[in-house]
Amino acid sequence: MYFDAARSSTKAEYHVVGSALAKMTWQALHRSPIFTRENYHVWVVKMKIYLQTFDLWKVVNA
């Protein structure tokens, strides 16, 4: 979806763009790292950071 703020400024259009950005942000934040056999060294770091973000690392580390 393309949005040109200079051409339009209705609240409905801002809401649509804002909702789309919020959805993309939510998806990016809640997408857990994917593990494959070749990427363990990268995956383990990303997974630790992901779990710390949601305050879940203490559950794993307990």
Q: What is the pLDDT of residues 24-40, one digit of tens each?
A: 566 666 778 889 989 99
Q: What are the backbone angles phi and psi of residue 52, rounded to the nearest 5°?
A: -65, -35
Q: Does residue 43 carry a pLDDT above 60?
A: yes
Q: What is the span of the domain harbouring residue 27? A: 11-61
What pLDDT is stored for residue 1 in this prediction? 46
Length, in residues, of the chain: 62
Higher-confidence position of 60 and 27: 60
Domains contained in the chain, number: 1
Asked if residue 3 belongs to a domain, the reply is no
What pLDDT is stored for residue 40 in this prediction? 95
Asked if residue 15 belongs to a domain, the reply is yes
Q: For residue 32, give the nearest of 49, 12, 15 by alpha carbon.
A: 49
Please tell me the pTM assigned to this model: 0.52
Average pLDDT, the chain: 74
